[in-house]
Amino acid sequence: MTIFTPKTEDEIVEAVQWALSENAPVEVVGHGSKRNLGRPLQTEHTIALSEYSGVTLYEPDELVLSAKAGTSIVELETLLAEHGQAFQFEPMDYGPLLGQAAGQGTFGSLLATNLCGPRRLKSGSARDHVLGVRVVSGRGELFKSGGRVVKNVTGYDLSKGMANSWGTLGIATEITFKVLPAPETETTLVVRGLADDEAARAMAIAMGSSGEVASAAHLPLNVSGRVIDGDLKGDASTLLRLEGFAPSVNDRAAMLKGLLASAGTIVEVAGDTSHKLWQQIRDVIPFADGTEHPVWRVSMVPMEAYKLVASLRMGAAVDAFYDWQGGLVWLRMEGEPEAEAVRALIKKYGGGHATLVRASTSVRAALPVFEPQPAPLAALSKRLKQQFDPSGILNPGRMVAGV
């Protein structure tokens, strides 16, 4: 067993070329914080990028940041915060949900797993903010795509092509992201006591208004008490986050309170508490219970998702809460993952996809962790993998068995 910890881009190329020459599949990791996510690997060797780190370009006035793949996300967020900026896509931290320490993730994983957070609806995910990449493909060749500017249509967008590829196409050695000003002020309106379907309608009204709502989430009664030290316990909470300059935030909060006056009692969670609340929703803290009970991450049409949860509840013990105006459902199963039932219901209610983000290693090896694709699409994905990694040496089987 060999663990490569390359310190230069040349060493990354050499490590991949070694794997090619030995025909030895390798696991590609940063610090390994997401080993318990996705399909488990059975490779003998590892390329760990943890020592290939550092910021290579940060120009706040230009809204651009480049760093090497092994750089700590927390360090980068701290650097950005010092300049009043942030990754607007608000990357979640899987650590707490997977029973690990928070703050372990590396920069490369932002794109490789296409991380995002509660601002997804308004601000997109990592794939919407990536500007350029340098990548070592499974052919052991270093290529670049994109650049450091926002407006660029020169050639195919291989930067986006690397998004959500889980290290199976190539090793992104250096990535350039657009960064943006962090909001000056934030506050959260909390509508109390709504059922899931009522919450979906209230969130749709808010998101479709001129209130410029940055995030909309719904915590049903039994989840509501598990955030911000139990401040919201006792009733379901439908949350609307407003961000921006203070006069604008205040104005929009007043408008939305009027718009939703008939929906239920509205309270406000302001400032740092609001910030903490959305971080906890982002990181799925309500289900970070130290167990291996299966947790699904389901992306669906916002107005359909609550129907999936209602149907599941008739046959199994599930806990659920919603982000993205209802379109992102976090499901915690008390017993079995019920993969077939979950996926059949997604198809029934408008389509989407479910990822089994927490389960024991044996369960993740036995079940399709990622949503299976229809045959022509699965074949296309496989052809793409072959074009980047014809020998199948990079993270084989990480996403789909045999690919």
Report the residue number, 130 or 227, with the smaller CB distance to another protein: 130
Report the residue number, 141 or 336, with the smaller CB distance to another protein: 141
Window 256 to 295, contacts with another protein (CB under 8 A): none
Distance (Å, whole) CA 242 – CA 275: 11
CA 134 to chain centre: 22
Distance (Å, whole) CA 205 – CA 208: 5
For residue 309, give the H/E element and its range.
helix 305-315
Q: Are 226 and 285 in contact (CB under 8 A)?
A: yes
Binding region for another protein (CB under 8 A) out of 41-49, 72-80, 204-212, 223-231: 204-212
User: Which residue has 């372990």 as its token pair?
Assistant: 104
Q: For another protein, which residue of 32, 103, 147, 193 counts as binding (CB under 8 A)?
A: 147
Per-residue tokens: 152: 């660029």
Helix (H, G, I), strand (E, B) or coil at 19: helix
What is the identity of the amino acid at 57?
A: L
Window 307 to 346, contacts with another protein (CB under 8 A): 324, 327-328
User: Which residue has 């077939």 as its token pair?
Assistant: 340
Q: Which residues contact 75 (CB under 8 A, 6 or more apart)?
A: none
Report the residue number, 157 or 196, with the smaller CB distance to another protein: 157
Window 18 to 37, contacts with another protein (CB under 8 A): none
Helix (H, G, I), strand (E, B) or coil at 279: helix
DSSP 175-196: EEEE-EEPPSEEEEEEEES--H
Q: Give me the least distance between CB of 104 and another protein, in Å please.
A: 23
Window 215 to 234, contacts with another protein (CB under 8 A): none
Query: Helices 305-315 and 339-348: crossing angle, nearest 10°?
Result: 140
Q: Give me the least distance between CB of 183 and another protein, in Å please.
A: 8
| Residue 285 backbone phi and psi in degrees, to 5 | -60, -35
Our finding on whether 402 is near another protein (CB under 8 A) is: no
Report the residue number, 142 or 195, with the smaller CB distance to another protein: 142
Our finding on whether 207 is near another protein (CB under 8 A) is: yes
Our finding on whether 17 is near another protein (CB under 8 A) is: no
Q: Give me the least distance between CB of 108 and another protein, in Å please.
A: 16
CA 110 to chain centre: 8
Q: Give me the least distance between CB of 215 and another protein, in Å please.
A: 13
CA 236 to chain centre: 25
Q: How many residues bind another protein (CB under 8 A)?
A: 87
Helix (H, G, I), strand (E, B) or coil at 284: coil
Q: For another protein, which residue of 23, 82, 340, 383 counts as binding (CB under 8 A)?
A: 383
Report the residue number, 45 or 122, with the smaller CB distance to another protein: 122
Q: Give me the least distance between CB of 228 and another protein, in Å please.
A: 26
Our finding on whether 374 is near another protein (CB under 8 A) is: yes
Per-residue tokens: 382: 């496989």
Window 125 to 144, contacts with another protein (CB under 8 A): 125, 127-128, 137, 141-144
Pair type for strands 3-4 and 45-48: parallel
Burial class (CB in 10 A: 0-12, 13-18, 19+), 195: middle
Q: For another protein, which residue of 17, 209, 273, 311 counts as binding (CB under 8 A)?
A: 209
Q: For another protein, which residue of 95, 193, 350, 392 counts as binding (CB under 8 A)?
A: 350
Our finding on whether 63 is near another protein (CB under 8 A) is: yes
Q: Give me the least distance between CB of 131 and another protein, in Å please.
A: 10
Report the residue number, 126 or 228, with the smaller CB distance to another protein: 126
Q: Are 67 and 109 in contact (CB under 8 A)?
A: no
Report the residue number, 264 or 326, with the smaller CB distance to another protein: 326
Our finding on whether 244 is near another protein (CB under 8 A) is: yes
